[in-house]
Amino acid sequence: MSNTLLHQVLVSDLVVPVELAQEPGHECLTKFGTRLADDTWLRPDLMVFRKEQAEGDLWYIRGAPLLAVEVVSPASRGADLGAKRRLYARFEVPAYVVVDVADDGRPELRVHELGADGWYADAERVPWGRSHRLARPLDLELAPDAIFGRLPRRPVRKRRITVPDLAAVLPATGPDLPHREDPILLDVFGHRWPTGAEKVELWDGCPVFYGLWDERDVEIAQRAYPGRIVRLDQPPGEPGTLTVLPAPAKVPAEGGIEADAGAEAEEEVEARAV
């Protein structure tokens, strides 16, 4: 089963138990946006929210969901287990659940529940054969074997993470853009930035594109966002994210001529992204 198909199956298997457990006045949606702030828009794989948060003809809910669920993919692993956890905690999402596939091919859960201090405690790991009862914001028994029992059981090979030779990576990450007078074919459309993105979000004013990117995609994004920093968050050709950061701030130099703030400014914008 491909990563894309497995991802869809895992999300769909979660819908029924979550909908059965939700309380009156709650709604459950998949692949819908949540506007956490004017500069932060996330798109959980599944979320539960109050119906009034989605009133009107919107493509997102207003404010934080009650429950956010992310299903890990190769491109989203780093974000789902790191930056997204911090973002959901900062915006006080009561419960955040991550679905991952263990080495034996069976899904397991990482459950994060908001504490009195406003942050998530250490994740409660729920492997196959165990369960965890979520008390807030809905009464839900999280048991991977009961939720995902119809999945085929087979081991998943670990993927070695290496820094590849770009020339060897290019065939796997798609062809170049065609000449401007030629049509764009499906292979290009599905690989190149931005149409090749698995998911797009906005973190603290920084667009984040999930996918399989290399230097060609950085060059395309730089033309679309002139003057901004376009950063690959992993080695070229590895699944992950491409982040567009603000340009370094200008600081007055001697003689009144503005100059780039340099490394200090880049550290500041990188901190905003996480």
- Domain borders along the chain are 3-147, 166-273
Q: What is the pLDDT along the chain (274 residues), one digit of tens a residue?
A: 556 788 889 999 999 899 989 899 999 999 899 999 999 999 999 999 999 999 887 889 999 999 999 999 999 999 999 999 999 999 999 999 999 998 888 999 999 999 989 999 889 999 999 999 998 888 999 999 999 987 555 444 433 333 333 334 444 567 888 888 999 888 888 889 999 999 999 999 999 999 999 999 999 999 999 999 999 999 999 999 999 999 987 756 555 545 454 444 455 544 544 4
Coarse DSSP helix, strand, coil percentages of the chain, rounded to the nearest 5 percent: 30, 30, 45
Q: Quick count: other Cβ atoms within 10 Å of Cβ 231?
A: 17
The pTM of this model reads: 0.82
Give me the half-sphere count of Cα atoms (radius 13 Å) on the Cβ side of residue 210. Answer: 18
The rounded distance, in Å, linking the Cα atoms of 62 and 53 is 5
**Beta carbons of 79 and 241 less than 8 angstroms apart:** yes
User: Alpha-carbon distance 112 to 122, whole Å?
Assistant: 7
What's the token pair of residue 272?
């905003």
The answer to whether domain 3-147 has CATH 3.40.50.300 is no
- Residue-level pLDDT at 237: 93
Give the DSSP letter of residue 247.
P
